[in-house]
Chains A and B, each alone.
Chain A
Amino acid sequence: MTKILTKHFDEATLHELATYERLGGYQGLKKALAMAPADVTAEVVKSNLRGLGGAGFPTGAKWGTVPPTDKVPGPRYVVVNCDESEPGCFKDRVLVTRAPHQLIEGLLIAAHAVGARQTFIFIRGEYQNQYDVLARAVAEAAAAGHAKHASIDLMRGAGAYISGLDTALLETMEGKKAWPRQPPPFPTVAGLMGQPTVVNNVETLSMLPFILREGGEAFAKIGSAKNGGTVVFSVSGHVEKPGVYEVPMGTKLRDVLALAGGVRGGRKLKCVIPGGTSMPPLMEKDLDLALDFDAIRAAGTFLGAGGMIVLDETADAVEVAHNIERFLAHESCGQCTPCREGSFWNEEILHRMLHGKATAEDAPNLARIGENITGKVICALGDTVGMVTRAYLQRFPEDFKKRVSSNG
């Protein structure tokens, strides 16, 4: 299968500049710098690259919304979102540990495309090892003269999941609580310190060297319709070989599972969370689904950031829903009422259900609460709070019923 980002992962010193350059590194940047910025963006539009941090928004189109300087004067920024915190996702960690220069090259290409003279890598504080790798690579790249058109600086987060949401990330960078903003304006128009800012995920930016080197069309050809290139799944849970697996967009779920060695111990599959725990699970019937943003959307869930968690028949839906809702309640930023109160309420009900005090009203009540939250909150975390429990209720009603009958 075609690989782009992980192609050279068997090179032990890939994180070093010399190795990276030997394998064709920084050729894409060289090509980009010789092009007009608008042409770089056009190439990315052609590539069908989608935002791999979760939203799946076409990257080229996003860049295209950065206003011209005569409309909005002042600096432009590019920010790398390396705040990977969605349960089930760890591909960014692997990508920056193994191929930091791939990200840096992509970042420098993006900076040229949108006219940014300053760029930042925002990385979660718990990735101190990865921070060190990146800091070294940034210094190497600068010393080699790759970053003459744009500076790169690093900044660490402080343990809040919500900082991974673009506008909350910008608030964090501005030294504020990570309370999401409510667009419009979108960050590309008014982002960091009110200036046009492109926030892109690690994996998204890491695709750019290939796109510039090989051309947008070559990248688009690798993927499925409107979903260019590859996607790196982080696979964990009940599989034989958890790890990162890069596959072309449109690869079947069954094939991704096979790469990870299948369900552990030959057990029966219960469901697969495709993109991190915020996403409703896919079922056995979806095994032949060709995974890309649009196909997964049509199947009622999201590709998200490719954090795939496999659950076998031993998993209990109430326990799973509780684990996820507990996480969301802990990470709710507290800004808007439905999420703050709703996540607390959901967790309390599920906790009670797990502790032998479930009632017949709990399931319909959870479904009702969920409906009252999703779509009525400030950000995607809140939408998730309402979505997760409903998804498990709908797919595994018997697990919830069992809790009622096993009482007392």
Chain B
Amino acid sequence: MSAFTPEQEKVLVAWTKRYPYPNMGLVEALRSVQEWHRCVTPAAAARVAELFELPFSRVWGVATFFPSFTTKPTGRHRVGLCHGLSCSLAGSDKMETCLEETLGTKAFETSADGKLSWEPMECLGACEQGPALLVNDRLQGQATPDKIAKLKELK
């Protein structure tokens, strides 16, 4: 049984055809898998390898290399808090504590309902708005207790 729905398989096949060479779509395909499953499991990576006609070990190497891919599910909303130098100077440690207390989970842990997880991230390219907050790969400006409290209202 495939790790994917027929629609998802179509998306993956489309990634094999998007660029001049099939393998060029691999990282994007794994991004899709991460989005659907909130993680990339060996079974899912193995199916991707089949579709891309690549050795599984190569795909698994890529899946375990890049920080965007996780082996255990993140929350449906994946929250990142930058702890690069500028954000650290701007007090990212206090916002980490705020995330931990407000969401009730430690870094890299997913809430029991599967909705939220948060993690410190390396420089998010928003140093002038530090500490920078990221939700599902979209920058949210400076992290504040208010913004963090609102994360709980996400569906």
Residues of A within 8 A of B (CB): 75, 84-90, 92-93, 118, 120, 124-129, 153, 155-161, 172-178, 193, 234-238, 242-244, 273, 277, 307, 309, 311, 315, 320, 323-324, 327, 330-331, 333
Contacts and interface: CB of A to CB of B under 8 A. Distances in A.
A217 B146 CA distance: 51
B31 A125 contact: yes
A125 B127 contact: no
11 contacts: A84-B125, A89-B123, A89-B125, A126-B134, A160-B66, A175-B54, A176-B62, A236-B130, A243-B128, A315-B89, A323-B83
Given A157-B27, A330-B122, A87 B137 contact: no
Interface stretch (B1-9, B13-21, B104-112): B13-21
Contact of B27 (A156, A277, A320): A156
B43 interface: no
A125 B62 contact: no
Contacts of A75: 20
Contacts of A307: 127
B126 A90 contact: yes
Tell me which of B67, B121, B130 has the highest count of chain A C-beta atoms within 10 A of its own C-beta: B67
Contact of A124 (B20, B84, B125): B125
Contacts of A118: 20
Lowest 8 CB-CB distances: which A-B pairs, in order?
A175-B26, A158-B66, A236-B127, A242-B128, A159-B67, A158-B68, A159-B68, A87-B84
Given A193-B21, A236-B130, A243-B128, A159 B66 contact: yes
Given A175-B27, A177-B65, A324 B125 contact: no
A238 B127 CA distance: 11
B79 interface: no
Contacts of B138: 128-129
Contacts of B26: 175
Contact of A126 (B62, B65, B124): B124
Interface in B95-147: 121-130, 134, 136-139
B89 A238 contact: yes
A277 B84 CA distance: 9
B69 A193 contact: no
A129 B88 CA distance: 23
Interface residues of B, number: 44
A22 to B, nearest CB: 29
Contact of B24 (A128, A156, A175, A324): A175
A203 to B, nearest CB: 13
B25 A327 contact: no
B126 to A, nearest CB: 6
A234 B85 contact: no
A114 B80 CA distance: 39
Nearest to A244: B128
Contacts of A311: 89
Contact of B88 (A242, A244, A323, A330): A323
B134 to A, nearest CB: 6
A244 B58 CA distance: 40
Nearest to A83: B125
A86 B124 CA distance: 9
Contacts of B66: 157-160, 178
Nearest to B129: A242
Tell me which of B28, B58, B89 has the highest count of chain A C-beta atoms within 10 A of its own C-beta: B89
B68 A125 contact: yes
A92 B24 CA distance: 24
A277 B122 CA distance: 12
B123 A327 contact: yes
Nearest to A276: B123
Contact of A327 (B24, B58, B80, B122): B122
Contacts of A309: 85-86, 89, 127
Tell me which of B24, B27, B85 has the highest count of chain A C-beta atoms within 10 A of its own C-beta: B85
Contacts of B65: 160, 177-178, 333
Contacts of B25: 175
Given A126-B121, A127-B139, 6 more contacts: A87-B123, A125-B137, A176-B61, A177-B62, A237-B89, A277-B85
Given A92-B125, A234-B128, A324 B85 contact: yes
B45 interface: no
Nearest to A132: B138
Given A158-B30, A242-B128, A324-B85, A86 B123 contact: yes
A193 B58 CA distance: 16
Contacts of A155: 19, 24, 27-28
Contacts of B122: 85, 87, 161, 327, 330-331
A234 B126 CA distance: 10
Interface string B54-79: 10001001100111110000000000
A234 B61 CA distance: 34
